Amino acid sequence: MKRRTAMEKASPHVLIFPFPLHGHINSMLILADLLCLAGIHVTFLNTDHTHHRLLRSNPDLLVDRPGLRFRSISDGLPLDQPRPIDRITDLFVSLRSATKPLLRAMLAGSGGGLGSDDPVTCVVADGLLSFAIDVADEVGIPIFIFRTASPCSFWTFFCGPALAAGGEIPFEEDDMDRLIIGVPGMEAFLRRRDLPSLFRVKELSDLNLQFILTEAQDATRASCVILNTFEDLDGPILSHIRAHCPTTYAIGPLDALLKCRLTESNDFTPTSISLRTEDRTCLTWLNSQPDKSVLYISFGSAAVATQEQLLEFWHGVVNSQTRFLWVMRPDVVDRMGQIPAELREATDERGRLVGWAPQVDVLAHSAVGGFLTHCGWNSTLESVSAGVPMICWPFFVDQQTNSRYVEEVWKVGLDMKDRCDRRTVEMMIRELMEGKREELVKSTARFADLAKRSVSQGGSSYMSFEKLVENIRSMCQRAHPDGGK
């Protein structure tokens, strides 16, 4: 292995460690690109299981390049064991017990298991991997936490102990519209049904709930917190978070920030890795559709519907008479029986199904007029950035809270949570594409403009990212006061 010069050694080396889920990997990879662009060396650490999936989908993408290299670590589960979303507890437990000592060995010493003589000067770990804080503390490396989900859900989880003390959780699921008063800043609009889905449990001792509450509190032990949002969208929540985590950087929307920083650099190709293969032919199909006429439908990478729910959606979409582009992941439903002929015919006539879409490009396409989404945080921000109003059908974790914000706070869409019968779906689509279109588009366009300003030179996210880079550099200087000589 080529040894780095003293000059190169002076540049910081950040280890980025995402939780092994698509949305987390995606956004942390954008952060990796941003840091590389700023001249910081990055090692991107996937779990072995993710690493192998990525290699299978496109082996060329994980090739090391100047400033960015990919390494992997075991998550403790057998490689060939499926990791379905409804067994996520297994992964939480295993990562904490099996991966923690491996990470310690990797970070200890000069490069350790990273296969390099270039010591890590700073760790950026996913907000769901707080065991990395213990490890970083033990080996004396500063650690930053990146919460890839929404700030509003982070704050809600953070307030979990107060909700428990105030008797607001757990709750019976019979009065879901009752207001929750224990989350400062959300007293006027947060109902039981808008709490992250992990709060819908019978016992406080529920393993997943306890896990997520602890992870939120643990963020206060990190040197700083990174969030994918911008001040004009989440200012009030950021103030609450900063009261507990004073150094919190809001650097989103990340994909827009990367686009902006790329215009300032001539020779940088962003890393594009995906656990799924994109079907780009849908962009050609969109080219032949009238302006703002198409409803884009996607439930992200992990949400699953029952066959009955999917068929209700499908009937509702077809009955609305809208043109649509639908990401129908092969694993979005357990078992798909016969599809009624009228749905197939209507889909051939004015729809298009794909297994995985280039979502950011789709949302930016002039033919797209609305987004029926599960309200995952990346999708929500991408839609806000593109100025596309949403219908939200939240599935789990932060999505219940995100969709409340979409409708009630930002007014950039409609919240369809806990319902998906065909009449509701049809009515909501008609409201989005026709009835309430004007007011929704007005508000969405305003936030799209604010998002753009925030990532432009001098904007809040742009400047926040600059400060983050400065912070990383100053930590490196403290680690190598002699410039690495």
State how far the Cα of 458 lies from the Cα of 477, in Å rounded to an integer. 26
Q: Which of 154, 128, 146 is nearest to 15 (CA)?
A: 146
State how far the Cα of 315 lies from the Cα of 386, in Å rounded to an integer. 27
Q: How far is the CB of 283 from ligand UDP (least distance, A)?
A: 12
Residues whose CB falls within 8 Å of the CB of residue 151, separated by 6 or more in sequence, listed in order: 227, 229, 234, 237, 238, 241, 250
Closest CB to ligand UDP among 19 and 144? 19
Q: How far is the CB of 131 from ligand UDP (least distance, A)?
A: 21
- Asked whether 38 and 59 are in contact (CB, 8 A), the reply is no
Q: Which of 175, 177, 174, 165 is nearest to 204 (CA)?
A: 165
DSSP letter assigned to residue 416: -
Positions touching ligand UDP (CB under 6 A) are 21-23, 26, 298, 300-303, 327, 356-357, 359-360, 376-379, 382
Closest CB to ligand UDP among 12 and 389? 389
Q: Which residues pair with 249 in a beta bridge?
A: 226
Closest CB to ligand UDP among 378 and 454? 378
Closest CB to ligand UDP among 295 and 479? 295
Q: Which of 126, 194, 255, 415 is catalytic?
A: 126
State how far the Cα of 399 lies from the Cα of 392, in Å rounded to an integer. 9
Is 126 among the residues known to form the active site? yes
DSSP letter assigned to residue 147: E
Q: How far is the CB of 275 from ligand UDP (least distance, A)?
A: 9
Closest CB to ligand UDP among 262 and 304? 304
Q: Is 424 helix (H, G, I), strand (E, B) or coil?
A: helix
- Residues in the chain, total: 485
- Which helix H or strand E contains 70, and what residues bound it? strand 68-73
Q: How far is CA 307 from the centre of its chain?
A: 26
Q: Which of 24, 41, 49, 374 is catalytic?
A: 24
Q: How far is the CB of 404 from ligand UDP (least distance, A)?
A: 16
The dihedral built from the CA positions of residue 37, 233, 383 and 125, taken in this order, carries a sign that is positive
Q: How far is the CB of 255 from ligand UDP (least distance, A)?
A: 8
State how far the Cα of 484 lies from the Cα of 409, in Å rounded to an integer. 49
Q: How far is the CB of 295 from ligand UDP (least distance, A)?
A: 14
Is 24 among the residues known to form the active site? yes
Closest CB to ligand UDP among 403 and 471? 403
Closest CB to ligand UDP among 25 and 479? 25
**Other Cβ atoms within 10 Å of 85 Cβ, number:** 15
- Asked whether 133 and 125 are in contact (CB, 8 A), the reply is yes
State how far the Cα of 45 lies from the Cα of 64, in Å rounded to an integer. 12
Q: Which of 86, 97, 220 is nearest to 157 (CA)?
A: 220
Closest CB to ligand UDP among 97 and 277? 277
Q: Token pair of 464, please?
A: 């926040």
Q: How far is the CB of 93 from ligand UDP (least distance, A)?
A: 21
Following DSSP, what letter does each residue of 294-315 receive, concatenated? EEEEE-TTT--B-HHHHHHHHH
Q: How far is the CB of 272 from ligand UDP (least distance, A)?
A: 10
Catalytic residues: 24, 126
